[in-house]
Structure formats: C-alpha cells, structure tokens
Structure 1
Amino acid sequence: MKHLYLADDHEIFRKSLRKFLEKEAYPYYEKWEEERMIPRSFWTKMGEQGFLCPDLDEEYGGSNVDWGYAVVINEELERVGSGLVGLGLHNDIVVPYINSYGTKEQKQRWLPRFTTGELITAIAMTEPGTGSDLANIKTTAILDGDHYIVNGQKTFITNGIQSDLVIVACKTNPNAEPKHKGVSLLVIERDSPGFSRGRKLNKVGLHCQDTAELIFEDCRVPKENLLGEEGKGFLYLMEKLQQERLVVAIAAQVAAEVMYNQTLDYVKSREAFGKPIGKFQNTQFKLAEMATDIEMGRAFLDQLIAEHIEGKDVVTKVSMAKWKLTENARNMATDCMQLHGGYGYMEEYEIARRFRDIQVASIYAGTNEIMKTIIAKNIGL
C-alpha cells in the first residue's frame, strides 16, 4: 500500500536509511540485546547520516523536512527491533518540546547537538506512585534565587541511563488549584548537582533499550532551564502527547507487519503430517485474520498520519489508533508464536523477541484504558 503522505524523495530516503541499518544495526542487534544497551556510537552514526531530528531547521543542524521523513525513520527502526524505540523518543517526542517551547538561547544551546547524537534526550513524567495521573506528580521544583531546587523520583524513563538532557515534569507550585496548573517543565542536564540515576531496570522485553530510575535530591537547576512558562507544563504535555501516541501506533503497526510476514514464510515451509502447516484450515484462517487486521490498520493509520502532518487535531483518532493497533499487534504476537510451535518459544527465532517486546505497547504513552477514556469523553460520554 502506498502511503498517502510519502513522495519519491521519501522512498529514496528510506532506501538510504535501510542500507545504513543493514550495515550498522541488523548485524549487531542481538549483541545489543545481550549487552542491554545500544552503544552511543550508533547514535552518532545516525546523526552523521542525517537520521536524527531531520525536521529541525537547517540552522540547528536539521534538514527542515516534513514529518513524513520521521515516519520512515520510525518504521525502519522498528523493522530492526523494538528496542530502538529510544531514538524515536529522542527525535519525535522529546526534541519537539525544545523546538516548540524553548527560547532562542535554549534552541541554539541544545538543538544542534541533538542532531549529531552528541546529546541524548529523555522525558521524565512517570513516578513510582504516579503514571497517567500527571496532575498529581510529587516531584517539586521550588525557586531559590537563580535556581530551582528539585526533589523527587522518576521511573520507567526511556534513555534513562544514557540521556544527557532530561525534560522533567515537576510541581513548581505544589499548592496550585486546580492541581495541573502547578506543573512545569524543567530541562535538567547530566552534570546537574543532586541529579543521579537509580537502577537500570530489568524489563521483560526491549532489552537493549536502557530504562532507568532518576533521582533528584536538592538538585540545583538554573532558572534559565525552565521550558516555556511556569505553570503551563501540563498543557504542553497534553499538546505533545498526540504525536507521542502516534509514534507508538506506527511502531505497533510495523511490528504486526513484520510478525505476519515472518509467520507466513514459516507456515509455507514447515511441514507436519506430510504437508506444509499453511495448508491446514486453522492456519489459513489465522493468517487471513492477521492479513485483514494489518490492511485495515494500515489504511486507518496512513490517513491519520496524513491528517497529523496537515496540523489537524486528531487526538480522538490517535487514541483509537494507539489502543487498537497495539492490541492487534499483541494478539498477533500470541498467534504467531503459536503457529511457530515449539520453535516460537526458542530465542533464536525472532518471534520470541517480538512477543516479549510488544507487550509494553499497550502500557506506555498512556495505557489503553486511558485511551478508551479519552475516546469516550470526546464522543460525548
């Protein structure tokens, strides 16, 4: 299916990126999984080739291209493996906050180093006791002269170990009513006094993606590192979550397509009772269901991406896509593993990794239950 928002230049870009990944990512991915880390050298190589933040203005090291290029990057990274999600988070979730809400000085200081891979970014919203309820975060940032004093903890932070710059959601006014008006965003850099990393978390899947706890103990942050206006952090988060959830939906759709194609090939070659298992009706029905879900998912997703690129407010549809496509992919992972039989449970078969990795897609960037709550509200319930 031809994507509605892609032209010939995008496909030339895709071929270039795919060739790069075939050399620099595919041969090393299993090693990265075993080492539980993607090397920083891969980030800098991505930057050298123009695959980091290409939509930024040229003055900041970007190529000033449309978001279709970002979609291509996210799709091709997912084809390698879901553990590369941290690069998509850097490109399309964290950096847009700086680009949209940062001052001229902040942009000049940070954006060029984002495009080279010199600075790896993260965003810290989730806390040990607070997930989707962002208005009730406990991390505080109290202004003291020329610095904010930050205290609190964050957890499940993608790029948590390697990040050099973290956008932290915190309460600059803990007594604000309503509570969300007390939330602000601070940019906290690696060497800030009082900022430390906690555990590198041992996850079920996404093994090569570093996820960590962040700890702030009387962490001193220059007031110049406030992002946007004080008290507007919650609004900024709501504005940017549309694109974050769309990135998750894109990854889920691609993961489903990869699992389907791998399983289709497998059932054509694996024989049982004297014939390929693809000749059995149960197998045919399962693959027919997968093929249909993939085509319908892709049609909806492509239309949605096109509307997002046009700048439309598609929060409701994005919520639909995020929950439905991640659910499709999770169900497909189970069926694909079953069709692989005992081999599906073996680590040397990619379907085992895909089965592990896809589970979290229904949890992060807002749980699927939250997505349904948003949809219900927006349809008038």
Structure 2
Amino acid sequence: MRRLRINISILHRWSGLVLGLYVALMGISGTAMVLQSTFYEWEFGADIMSYEDKPQAWALPSVWLENAQAKYGPIEHIEGIFGPETTPMRIGAPTIIYDTERAGGGHGHGVVVVDPYTGEPKAHFIAEDTAAVWPLWLHHSMFMGDAAIPTIMILSILIMVFCVSGVFLWLQRPKTKKSDLKIAGFSSPPKMRRSHATLGIWLCVPLFLFAITGFGLARFDISMAFASLLGMADGTVASENQQMCATPSADRAWTTALEANPGSEITMFFLPSERNAGYQIFMGPEGTRYPTRGNSEVRVLSECSTLTHFRPAEANRIGDVMLSYMLDFHNGKIGGIVGETLVFILGLIVFLLPLVGIAAHVWRTAQKKKR
C-alpha cells in the first residue's frame, strides 16, 4: 500500500506540474463563459442583447428571415433559429445563426438578434469578430488548433485522475483532523499544500462530474453510444404521405411542430442542411426552460411537411435525459443562478488549484536547494 501511495503521489504531482497550466486555462475560460451573456450586453447594450418575455406567440420564421434580409442583405447557409441562451455563445435574446466567411478570411458564425414577437432585427454581427466570444473560443480551442478536441479530452481525463488520486492520498493521511478541512493559508509551502488538498476535497465530486460532462461534449459520438446503452426513446412516426411534393416553408414546419406538441415552445429550430434531411426542432414547456425529463424533439421531413419523428419529453428514457441535460449541467444552467454561481466558483478553483500546487512545489524545491 505504501508503494502504491508513493506512485499515485508521483502521478498526481508530475501530471499537475506538466499540464497544470492548461488545466488552469480551462478553468478560467469556463468561469468567463458563465458571464458571456453579460459580456455581450456590455459590448452591444443590454436592451439589444436581452428581451422581455410576453404572453403571446412568437412571429413565424419567415417574418424573422424576411426582416433580417431586408435590413442586412441576403443571408445564406442559415443554420437555425434559437431561443435565449440556447447557443454556445449564450446570447440572452433569440437569434438567427448562419455560416459565413469573415472579412479577414476564414469561417465564422453570423448572428442576427431578433425581437421574437415582431420579427424585427435588433443587431447583426459575426460572433468570431466580437470581444465577447473569446471565453468560448479559448475554452474550445485551448490554443491548440486542430488538436483542441484531443487536448480537451486529455485534460478532462486528467481532472478526473486528479480527483480520484487526490481523494486516495487524502484518505492515506496518517491522521485526519477537523482542522484539515480548513484553508491553512498560503504563507509557506506546507500550508499551501494543505490548502490545495482542502480545496480539492471540498469540490472533488462536482469537479469530477464537470470533467465527465466536458469529455462527453468533446466526444459526442461516445456520449451517444453510452446513451444508447442506457436506453433511448424511439419516437419514430409512421409517415402516411411519402409522395414527392413542394418543399415546405419553415413556417409550415414550425406550425407542424407546435401542433404535434401543444403547450410547448420552440427552443431550437434547425433548418435543412447537409447534415439534416429535414427540420429538426427541440421544444420545452411554455414558460419553463428546463423540463424535468429533458426537451421534446420533433423532426419534419423536407417534403410535404411530413412528421417523421416525435419524441415528447414524457417518453424520454435515461439516455435521452442524459443527452438533454449534459450541456446544461456543464455550464450550470440547470440550477439557475445557483448553478451558474457554482460553475463560476468551480472554474475559479480549477484555475487556482494547479497554480497553488505548482507554486508550493517550486517554493519547496527552492528551500531545499538553499538548505
């Protein structure tokens, strides 16, 4: 057991020293992402980047799109229409998102902020050209370019290893006192190491869960395979009308989804593209952004507005619920202000933990050399 403890201690220390700064970078960018909607409000104005909820139906998609193109010119490669804070950018108002080329070259995401009740556009910008997008960019890229996804996977696994090895080393301490659960301070290497351990023990469980969900978001194919093992609702609807006819408008697909799931509102509305043969629509109960069993899903075929798939929230199985809530759990949206505060604090601790550990090691090494 003693040899195992030494090996785990070496693994915990040196993996932290080698990759600790990347872990800290992931933590601080995740913390900033909690404030991203606020950053957009600072950059463009709170009245533009937010909206007042009213007891009336949203305008149909054709109104949104026609008004946007009348004001800003032709908009091509439209990805979809999104409710407030349902995009990775966490913009606080409903938006139209489309793929575009940036003026300086490269791919970008065009954003049109819309008043959902009148369909009038309020703002238009390329997300990658804004200052507010940097936390999202940093969290997803980690300065690694094409190697970002493998890097995020490695860092997610590393945080899980830190949690497990840290708990093991804590339990192997010769004596655990109540005072060990208090922050010892940072005035000497031993106190810094004890504070490092205390912070890790306090939050090892939520840190582990956030690392798992981060890994699952980085590799959604693995998440889908795991969800299938847990069980997912079929939800396929037999089509009665398969003959070819005119491609429906977005309005008809929107109406078909609302008719299929009365009492719900649309949160994400994806238009046909190379990835989607038809309209893919996610819905939640009116006035409730986080239903107890995840979102409903509706798919409408591009021909004749035929309903090909309907999965109400009540039919969701464990796998569907896991996928519905994975992103919302990871960014703290499930718990409202409490959840976002917890994610903010966790991000700061993920930022501080490796820095404190590295500082304690460097300080201790320097003292040994002096002696």
Q: State which structure, 1 or 2, has the greater radius of gyration over its C-alpha atoms.
A: 2
Higher relative contact order at CA 8 Å, sep ≥6: structure 1 or structure 2?
A: 2
Q: Which band: TM-score by shorter chain?
A: under 0.3
State the TM-score, normalized to the length of structure 1.
0.24
State the TM-score, normalized to the length of structure 2.
0.25
